[in-house]
């Protein structure tokens, strides 16, 4: 944000040094949300030119801490070999390995496309034992995990797990470049971001690297299934809710065929018919490409009425895993759609998730 003295003339659009960005004038005294981090929901009014240091931020939502849970935001930058070449820029301000201490209100991001994670841990009764880790990448993929109340992470912490919520590149709240960097790179950029974050946190925190599990739904399930296939030595269990496992087979049955093509990096129009190269590329970017390498036990939860990610996706993965001797269980919920939010399904799904994690992480 740059100040401009409107008393000397009307505001002008400015050129940003990055070729894929531009800056537009803002109305005088406009209310602006804080965009440096998704975690603080604040607004402010722009002061007059020369008084920018006096800006007063107003919090939109009071934060009520939970004394039994501690949490910290972890800013990360991808290693050089994982930078998106279209958007990578000069770096500054983060420590060795790309992992910085917990973010404060005075922290700033380096230019380029960075990402963040939220690490939650039980804060009482730990003793000297190392905590098992549950990694929960969000769905979307253009969504975000915020530093606000979420039932599953909070409950898992109370049970005794550390929980890592990863906002990989492509998540909302980090600028349009971040969002635009992911289509065409799903199954690679987002997967590597999550894995890099997991590896960094395991190095920095007192967590049990031999007890790591994945929990994800929709695109989060897509990532979970990718990770157990691409990095089978890292994860000991997986819970996937209505996961995307094969974009090529999903496109003919989903209510969002545009998602399959767009995230794979192809243009979409209502009359689009994928050609052979499109089918091949969608399969190449899908978890089914790595199913032969999966070793972790997998619990699948599917909504029988899901039109977004049809249950045939999970059934396809289930059959492939069973054929290869991987420990797998399938829960199919009638009269439930993509959210699996029916009261019975929510309760049953949560209990089975916890039991699966406790069993296979030997907690």
The residues carrying an active-site annotation are: 218, 306, 338
Q: 301: which residues sit within 8 A by CB, 6+ positions away?
A: 239, 240, 241, 242, 314, 331, 333, 340, 349, 352, 353
Q: Cα separation of 151 and 62, whole Å?
A: 18
* Residue entry with tokens 């039994």: 68
Check: CB of residue 302 under 8 Å from CB of residue 332.
Answer: yes
| Contact by Cβ (8 Å): 198, 175 | no
CB 216 within 8 A of CB 240: yes
Beta-bridge partner residues of 44: 32
Q: Which residue(s) pair with 121 in the sheet?
A: 70
Helix, strand or coil, per DSSP, at residue 203: helix
Strand pairing report for 115-122 and 162-167: antiparallel
Helix (H), strand (E) at residue 181: helix 176-181
Burial tier of 238 (Cβ tally within 10 Å: 0-12, 13-18, 19+): buried
Burial class of residue 198, CB neighbours in 10 A (0-12, 13-18, 19+)? buried
| 58 bridge partner residues | 43
**360 and 328 in contact (C-beta within 8 Å)?**
no
The closest of 283, 278, 293 to 313, measured between CA atoms, is 283
The alpha helices in the chain, defined as continuous H runs, are: 151-159, 176-181, 189-204, 219-230, 247-250, 257-264, 276-284, 312-323, 343-360
d(CA 183, CA 160): 36
């Amino acid at each position: 944000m740059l100040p401009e003295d409107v008393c000397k003339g009307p505001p002008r659009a400015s050129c940003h040094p990055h070729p894929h960005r531009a800056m537009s004038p803002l109305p005088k005294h406009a209310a602006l949300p804080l965009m440096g981090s998704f975690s603080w929901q604040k607004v402010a009014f722009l002061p007059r030119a020369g008084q920018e240091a006096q800006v007063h931020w107003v919090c939109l939502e009071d934060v009520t801490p939970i004394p039994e849970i501690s949490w910290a935001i972890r800013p990360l930058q991808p290693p050089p070999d994982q930078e998106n070449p279209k958007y990578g820029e000069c770096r500054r301000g983060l420590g060795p390995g790309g992992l910085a201490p917990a973010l404060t209100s005075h922290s700033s991001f380096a230019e380029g496309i960075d990402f963040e994670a939220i690490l939650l841990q039980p804060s009482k009764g730990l003793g000297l034992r190392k905590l098992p880790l549950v990694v929960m990448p969000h769905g979307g993929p253009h969504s975000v995990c915020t530093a606000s109340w979420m039932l599953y992470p909070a409950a898992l912490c109370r049970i005794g797990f550390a929980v890592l919520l990863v906002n990989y590149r492509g998540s909302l709240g980090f600028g349009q470049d971040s969002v635009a960097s992911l289509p065409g790179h799903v199954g690679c950029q987002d997967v590597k971001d999550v894995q890099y974050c997991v590896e960094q946190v395991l190095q920095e925190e007192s967590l049990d690297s031999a007890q790591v599990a994945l929990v994800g739904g929709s695109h989060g399930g897509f990532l979970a299934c990718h990770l157990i296939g691409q990095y089978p030595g890292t994860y000991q269990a997986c819970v996937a809710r209505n996961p995307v496992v094969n974009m090529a087979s999903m496109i003919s049955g989903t209510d969002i065929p545009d998602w399959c093509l767009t995230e794979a990096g192809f243009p979409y129009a209502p009359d689009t018919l994928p050609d052979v190269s499109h089918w091949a590329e969608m399969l190449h970017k899908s978890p089914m490409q790595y199913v032969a390498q999966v070793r972790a036990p997998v619990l699948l939860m599917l909504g029988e009425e899901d039109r977004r990610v049809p249950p045939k996706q999970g059934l396809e993965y289930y059959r492939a895993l069973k054929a290869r001797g991987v420990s797998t269980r399938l829960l199919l919920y009638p009269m439930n759609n993509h959210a699996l939010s029916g009261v019975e399904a929510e309760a049953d799904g949560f209990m089975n998730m916890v039991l699966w994690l406790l069993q296979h992480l030997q907690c």
